[in-house]
Structure 1
Amino acid sequence: MTGKFNKSSSMNVSVSQQVKPITLQGSATIVVQFFKYAVNSILYQRGVYASDTFDRCQQYGITLFTTKDKEINEYFESVLPNLENWLAHGELRGVSLVITSALTGEHLEKWDFEIHTVPTDGDTTITGKKREYGKKELAEIQKGIRNVMRQITATVTFLPLLDVRCAFDLRIYVNKEAEVMRGWVEQSDSNIVNPERVELRSFSTSVHRVQASVTYKADDP
């Protein structure tokens, strides 16, 4: 499933207090914030858009870059609240960022973020607003996120150069029970010719665990 790209002012979720104990809603907020910075970092590091269209910022104790493009920010702001809602209800299974050739539509890279949510009691309705599911220091969570972000930055040392004009799309994977808003469409999986896959780091909020990986088109032998 994918949201049509319609390129908001950037949604900036501030998490300044320790999340202990943590609810599904609190964890969802942290994970969605991570997605926003991760996608921005990938677009910057992979040169999908010019470097001068990004602003430098400090997050998780490191320097990151976020887009200044109004249409892209509007796209993020239309998508991220949906992700947070699905996360808070334990319905989101994963998010993929697909980078394609703007000229041919060929899939060049796919960045996967698999989501694993802790199981809940059978008698409990997941609202994420009251029930506590786990305990973890915010500093420990941010350390895990920081390690993932640093690894995303380091991928430029081994990923092939994207020497064509590129575009991107977000693919969202939810449970069958999840309510999907009008305007979202189902799409087939993103196949990459001659693929190579690299597992990246993961992090956990003690409620959600996010496992990252990247699949790219390797050079022809």
Structure 2
Amino acid sequence: MASKTVAKDIITLRGSASIVSEFFVVGIFFFFFFSILYNRGVYPEESFAKVKKYGLPMLLTQDEGVKSFIANLTAQLTEWLESGKLQRVVLVIMSKATGEVLERWNFSIETDSEVVEKGVSREKSDKEIMREIQAIMRQIASSITYLPCLDDSCVFDVLAYTDTDIAVPFTWIESDPKLIANPQMVKLHSFDTKIHKVDTLVSYKNDEWDEE
């Protein structure tokens, strides 16, 4: 009788943390650098390299200072994810001239506490996880169709919300939440590794509210 071998996709805490931290870095910086820095000419075209990630074409920065920042950010987020201490990551886009917050990308994280405490694993297909991430990435890429134009030169900041019992590295500083008054909000897709679930929400300044 012929036999059939079935391979299971086992997701460990470390593997899930790696997937989620890579999503933050690729998702956040793909949107920021492609939609803002590249399209608005803040960095020259040669500062970007064309890559393919999650089956989608992307432009990633080649600026050494930014690459170093991204590498350090990835390492820290991965550490917090593996310990189950990371609650949220927020990308804030602000006017360079005034410091006014124009957009706020919120990535909320739910962590399976049993996996962290007991070291158990979960099962989920890599393909299924990638499909969910691709759906979010497409939404981020297409968001330029509904987000207001950013006429000013912009800067960004990354906020991390963690449990209160962790030691904060000296490279991170306390910050206010950098909220937007009367924002317009759009909820994007979520993805779930069965260990970490990530929900995405973008808030942006709504000039129509200011005029009322």
Give the aligned partner of residue 210 of structure 1.
Answer: 198
Give the aligned partner of residue 131 of structure 2.
Answer: 143
Alpha-carbon distance, 1:132 to partner: 2.9
Higher relative contact order (CA 8 A, sep 6+): 1
| Structure 2 residue 184 is the aligned partner of structure 1 residue 196 | yes
Q: Normalization by structure 1: what TM-score?
A: 0.84
Residue type of the partner of 1:87?
L
Structure 2 CA distance for partners of 1:19 and 1:41, relative to 1, 3 Å = farther
Q: Work out the number of aligned pairs and report it.
A: 198
Q: Is the 8 A contact 2:14 2:82 kept in 1?
A: yes
Q: Is the deviation greater in 73-82 or in 200-209? A: 73-82
C-alpha distance in structure 2 between counterparts of 1:115 and 1:28, whole Å: 11
Give the aligned partner of residue 57 of structure 2.
Answer: 63
The structure that has the greater radius of gyration is 2
Give the aligned partner of residue 155 of structure 2.
Answer: 167
Identity rate of aligned residues, in percent?
35
**Structure 1: 5+ residue stretches without partners:** 1-17
Indicate which of 103, 110, 117 corresponds to 1:116. Answer: 110
Give the aligned partner of residue 35 of structure 2.
Answer: 46
Residue type of the partner of 2:144?
V
The within-5 A match list for 1:180-195 is 180-195=168-183
Alpha-carbon distance, 1:19 to partner: 8.4
Q: Which has the higher helix share?
A: 2
| Structure 2 residue 85 is the aligned partner of structure 1 residue 91 | yes
Alpha-carbon distance, 1:125 to partner: 3.8
Q: Is the 8 A contact 2:114 2:120 kept in 1?
A: no
> How far does the alpha carbon of each residue in 1:152-196 deviate from its partner, in whole angstroms, 9 at most, with x for none?
011111000011100000000111122321232111111213411
Q: Normalization by structure 2: what TM-score?
A: 0.87
Alpha-carbon distance, 1:136 to partner: 0.5
Query: What's the secondary structure of 1:26's corresponding residue?
Result: helix
| Structure 2 residue 165 is the aligned partner of structure 1 residue 177 | yes
Across the aligned residues of Structure 1 and Structure 2, the Cα RMSD in angstroms comes to 1.8
> How far does the alpha carbon of each residue in 1:179-214 deviate from its partner, in whole angstroms, 9 at most, with x for none?
321232111111213411110110011100010110
> How far does the alpha carbon of each residue in 1:29-53 deviate from its partner, in whole angstroms, 9 at most, with x for none?
0111111111122213431343723
Q: Is the 8 A contact 1:107 1:190 kept in 2?
A: yes
**Structure 2: 5+ residue stretches without partners:** 1-6
Query: What's the secondary structure of 1:56's corresponding residue?
Result: strand
Give the aligned partner of residue 134 of structure 1.
Answer: 122
Query: What's the secondary structure of 1:47's corresponding residue?
Result: helix
C-alpha distance in structure 1 between counterparts of 2:172 and 2:145, whole Å: 35
Q: Is the 8 A contact 1:202 1:210 kept in 2?
A: yes
Query: What's the secondary structure of 2:37's corresponding residue?
Result: coil
Give the aligned partner of residue 76 of structure 2.
Answer: 82
C-alpha distance in structure 2 between counterparts of 1:71 and 1:211, whole Å: 29
Give the aligned partner of residue 21 of structure 2.
Answer: 32
Which 4+ stretches in 1 moved above 6 angstroms? none
Query: What's the secondary structure of 1:191's corresponding residue?
Result: coil
